[in-house]
Structure 1
Amino acid sequence: MSSRSALRAPSLALALAACGAADAAVTSNVALTSDYVFRGVSQTDREPAIQGGFDVTADSGVYFGTWGSSISWLSDASPDISSNVEIDGYAGYRGSFSDSVAYDIGAIYYWYPGSYPGGFNSADTAEVYFGITAGIVGLKYSYALTDLFGYADSDGSGYLDASVNWGFADGWTLNLHGGKQWIENNEDFEYVDWKVGVTKAFENGFSISAAYVDTDTEEALYTNPQGEYIGDSTAILTLARTF
């Protein structure tokens, strides 16, 4: 979902004070993936991506952070577009209904800096989301407050994410996902995506994951000018490190 974990100490102190995080946990992450796939669709024309970010989580449950990745889908769409990076900023609150049921509510902004031709509908997108987790099962719904990733008149679009993350052995997790993307006033582009994967986490903060992803996107609508069907099934390998 480019590590930007190097916050200056005064800025971090102010941020922690703002969310009442006297005993906040700060973590950062960096990853190299064979293909950046978001909601089932390749963002890098089936090429590798470097990614990273940081998170600040307070004891109260308040959290915020940022995450970034190299991309190519915008510059692939037009030679007049120079954007080659995605930077996300997010904040929210995590709590629980009981010992076994937790929730997560927040907002995220996807920013694609770069130069664009006149009349281009901005891909920058703001969403709010609500998620609930019961044991190994999770369900999350995201709602677009703006046009969704450049689709015209698409504010109000939604994405439903269902997941299962089962720790079946020491350090090993089975990752299952199914999602549905609704796009207001662009119904032909709506689709379902799914994933089957496995992650191995190591005690030194490294992890490696392998996944198979697929969608039911219309090939004609999701083939870029380079002739790549970016909604097609693919296998992904990712190496990550958390600090």
Structure 2
Amino acid sequence: MTRTAPMLAIAGLLATTTLANAADDAGRIPGAFSASIAFASDYVFRGISQTGSNAAVQGGIDWAHDSGVHLGVWGSNVDFGTDAGTEVDWVAGYAGQIGDVAYDLKLTYYSYPGASNSLDYDFWEAALVLGYDLGPASLGVAYNYSPAFFGGSGQAHYVSGSVAVAVPEFPLGLTLSAGIGRQFIEDNATWGTPDLTDWRVGAAGRVEGFDLALTYTDTDLASADCGGSNLCEGRFVFAVSRAF
């Protein structure tokens, strides 16, 4: 898989969204389509760089129905030092609200086109996400479960919490956020690290239709626990994205 694959995939996603929106406007497709494209200085997943500390090009397309059913596909370049160069995530879920609590039940299939089957990278993960809106602030908690996690590392559980606060006194629609999560993995030797805690703090705003975000993310793992690499160490990640 070449490094241009993510760009070609994103271009295809955006073209599909344009056609889907045209059909939607004509009343032929129920629900609503949306898409996004992003450029980031790194792709960090639960505190660990997925791109060898290099930049990432990412994009996705989503469809949501008034009933709460939603589907999506998202892609990014990755670099694990193997023949996997792209990650494509396929998502299906159902979202709704009970009182003041929003919920989202979803199933994600993480796929890595081009990766050797022997690497056993592809995996399924189910998630329950809950959110509570406090006005200028919002709280979120989530639980993720995989019966067979990345790389054949067995069952995995991820529990996380987050908070976001809008700061209307500042320009650019500034929002401050923080989050923390704990990853539990059945076969740590196969996975490559002990169970880990990751955390992040960040700020985001909007300029001329573009969303800008600066995030600092870190884990509780030392380099020796991360295969002797710096992929689990603290880092700033800058991202610019646009929704369509």
TM superposition score category, shorter chain reference = 0.7 to 0.9
Post-superposition Cα deviations, 1:64-106, rounded to whole Å, max 9, x if no partner, equal 0100000102xx1xxxx311000000010111111x2110101
Matched residue type, 1:185: D
How many residue pairs match? The answer is 220
Conserved? CA contact 1:189–1:218, under 8 Å = no
Equivalents in 1 of 2:23, 2:74: separation in Å?
19
| TM-score, normalising length: structure 1 | 0.83
Q: CA deviation at 1:115?
A: 4.1
Post-superposition Cα deviations, 1:189-213, rounded to whole Å, max 9, x if no partner, equal 21000000000024x4311000111
Q: CA deviation at 1:218?
A: 3.8
The aligned counterpart of 1:112 is 112
Secondary structure (helix, strand or coil) at the match of 2:212 reads strand
| TM-score, normalising length: structure 2 | 0.83
Conserved? CA contact 1:128–1:145, under 8 Å = no
Matched residue type, 2:15: A
Post-superposition Cα deviations, 1:29-51, rounded to whole Å, max 9, x if no partner, equal 00000010000000011110100
**1:135-154 counterparts in 2 under 5 A?**
135=133, 136-146=138-148, 148-152=149-153, 154=154
The aligned counterpart of 2:177 is 175
Matched residue type, 2:163: V
Conserved? CA contact 2:222–2:233, under 8 Å = no
Give every structure 1 segment of 4 or more consecutive aligned residues whose post-TM-superposition deviation is greater than 6 Å.
Answer: none
Matched residue type, 1:107: L
Q: Is 1:52 paired with 2:83?
A: no
Q: Percent of pairs identical after alignment? A: 34
Equivalents in 2 of 1:127, 1:165: separation in Å?
25
Extract unaligned runs of 5+ from structure 1: none
Give the superposed CA RMSD: 2.3
The aligned counterpart of 1:128 is 126
Select the residue among 192, 201, 210 that pairs with 2:214: 210
Equivalents in 1 of 2:197, 2:242: separation in Å?
30
Equivalents in 2 of 1:95, 1:62: separation in Å?
9
Equivalents in 2 of 1:230, 1:214: separation in Å?
10
